[in-house]
Amino acid sequence: MAYPKSIYASSLLLLLTFQVLSTISEAVVPASDTFTYINEGDFGDYVVEYDADYRTLHPFSNPFQLCFYNTTPNTFTLALRMGTVRSESLMRWVWEANRGNPVRENATLTFGTDGNLILADSDGRIAWQTNTANKGVVGFQLLPTGNMVLHDGKGNFIWQSFDSPTDTLLVGQSLRAGGVSKLVSRASAANNIDGPYSLIMEPKQLAMYYKSANSPRPMLYWTSVEWFNVDVATVTNGSLINLTLTSVPDTDEGFLYYLTFLYYITNPPSGWNRNMAYSRYNNTLSYLRLGIDGNLRFYTYNSNVQGVAWELVYTFLDRNSIEGECQLPERCGKLGLCENSECVACPTPNGLSGWSKDCEAKVTSCKASDFAYYKLEGVDHFMIKYTRGDGGRKQSDCESKCTKDCKCMGYFYHTQGSRCWIAYDLKTLTRVGNSTHLAYIKAPKK
């Protein structure tokens, strides 16, 4: 009898030993490093982006701080703020966890021993999490780059906030084919949901799209064109793998710091740089933002200059560039003729009148007998610059396509090349001074 019992005892001992060993090797977050922050208490006193109310949380790494903020009462976003109180400048939101999925008062942010970081609403509903339970996470850190990371025992990042951009890329942050390959604009300062604009890293270019309720497909209004096609650094035979925003000091001259896209391509497998903008001081603390207005801008933070720490370093669709603001779909609101970045006229069936925000195209009925087209010469739609349209079309075919399509607001036709574009939204039209570029806009028959 004693014999089997001792076998039982020793195997139990073995089992216990095994369990103890495996618990030791299975990484856990030390209890002293776990935390729970509750969204409660007084709001901060300083001016932050979107005129938001905010509460700071403990994680801070100059000039970044984790916060809850809200622009409308009781709809909070967990976000990283950039800028310090000492800089006496606007503090901006450069990363967020839960766009479009706000939490309320008394929501909690919990980092548990299992290594998962969870944002839960006050009723316990999980609004956002890193999904890193039992994946070897031993610690949480907010790095001086603005990257919030969960790391394992060897310092590898199991999760990082840099992998989930929304509308902003900080220096060091990337877009990736097969990962997050786009930025999406914010709807408005007050409303933190996805807006209509996106910047997408496509296989051969960066592209910006405008999505509207009326249009079946997002409309292209800008591309990087030849950026990734200069000299040998070309994507002709391959495609973009990733693109990282970097800050590169000019070592020759010493006084310039470039904001550079570092990008990798597949064929030939290689990495390249493209300088996008520069400043005359260390611009490591910079970001690229796809704005509420659909424009793309670089901002740099320099904590040495109190009161005006921020500099708008570069605007992609800039009024002083060839491109100009007329390429912005909503530059002239619902409808307007744009020239040299200004809204200069409101097209009407009776000719051009002065532009105001009320300028609008009205199609009240779908029946072909209820509307007619009026014509504008030397006018393009914002989607025309970067799209080819349908070539070799007769104008009458282009027109009948629009007539049959209830949602078509008008069509655009280039007599050279017989190119046709159907427009589901008019918005900003550009004066191009080329009488072969024609616009036909639907208007109700009187």
Ligand X SMILES: *[C@@H]1O[C@H](CO)[C@@H](O)[C@H](O)[C@H]1NC(C)=O
| Tokens (6 digits) for 196 | 């209509």
How many residues bind ligand X (CB under 6 A)? The answer is 20
Q: Is 306 in the site for ligand X (CB under 6 A)?
A: no
Pairing label, strands 427-431, 335-339: parallel
Site string for ligand X, 263-302 (x = CB under 6 A): -x-----------------x-xx-----------------
Q: Which of 306, 353, 364, 434 binds ligand X (CB under 6 A)?
A: 434
From 87-95, 234-242, 325-333, 385-393, span contacting ligand X (CB under 6 A): 234-242
- Mind giving me the DSSP string for 224-285? -TTTTEETTEE-SSS-EEEEEEEEEE-TTTSS-EEEEEEEEETTTTEEEEEEEEEESS---S
Q: Is 244 in the site for ligand X (CB under 6 A)?
A: yes
Residue with Cβ nearer ligand X (356 or 436): 436
Residue with Cβ nearer ligand X (321 or 434): 434
Instruction: Give kind and range of the element (H or E) at residue 21.
Output: helix 2-25
Q: Is 237 in the site for ligand X (CB under 6 A)?
A: yes
Q: How many CA atoms lie within 13 A of 30 on its CB side?
A: 4
Q: Is 87 in the site for ligand X (CB under 6 A)?
A: no
Q: Is 201 in the site for ligand X (CB under 6 A)?
A: no
b/e 203-217 (16+ beta carbons within 10 angstroms → b): ebbbbbbbbeeebee
Least distance CB 29 / ligand X (angstroms): 26
Specify the amino acid at residue 200: I
Residue 54, SS3 per DSSP:
strand
From 231-239, 308-316, 337-345, 351-359, span contacting ligand X (CB under 6 A): 231-239
Query: Computed from CA positions of residues 434, 436, 442, 443, in that sequence, does the dihedral angle turn out positive or negative?
Result: positive
Gyration radius (Cα) of the chain, Å: 27
From 92-100, 109-117, 230-238, 357-365, span contacting ligand X (CB under 6 A): 230-238
Least distance CB 314 / ligand X (angstroms): 19
| Tokens (6 digits) for 240 | 């973009």
Q: Is 174 in the site for ligand X (CB under 6 A)?
A: yes
Least distance CB 266 / ligand X (angstroms): 8
Least distance CB 442 / ligand X (angstroms): 23
Q: Is 416 in the site for ligand X (CB under 6 A)?
A: yes
| Tokens (6 digits) for 129 | 């999490």
Of 132-171, binders to ligand X (CB under 6 A) are none
Q: Is 339 in the site for ligand X (CB under 6 A)?
A: no
Q: Which of 100, 136, 218, 249 binds ligand X (CB under 6 A)?
A: 249
Q: Is 105 in the site for ligand X (CB under 6 A)?
A: yes
Q: Is 36 in the site for ligand X (CB under 6 A)?
A: no
Q: Is 260 in the site for ligand X (CB under 6 A)?
A: no
Q: Which of 18, 125, 436, 445 binds ligand X (CB under 6 A)?
A: 436
b/e 127-164 (16+ beta carbons within 10 angstroms → b): bbebebeeebbbbbebeebbbbbbbbeeeebbbbbbeb
Q: How many CB atoms lie within 10 A of CB 165?
A: 23
Interior CA angle at 125 toward 123 and 129, to 5°? Answer: 135
Verify cis geometry, omega within 30 degrees of 0, for the bond prior to 268.
Answer: yes
Distance set, CA 251 to CA 248, 279, 435 (Å)? 9, 14, 50
From 26-34, 217-225, 235-243, 331-339, span contacting ligand X (CB under 6 A): 235-243
Least distance CB 100 / ligand X (angstroms): 22
Least distance CB 156 / ligand X (angstroms): 14
Residue with Cβ nearer ligand X (297 or 419): 419
Residues with Cβ within 8 Å of 178's Cβ and at least 6 positions away in sequence, in order, are none
Report the interface residues with ligand X, using CB under 6 A: 40, 105-106, 174, 176, 234, 236-237, 241-242, 244, 249, 264, 282, 284-285, 414, 416, 434, 436
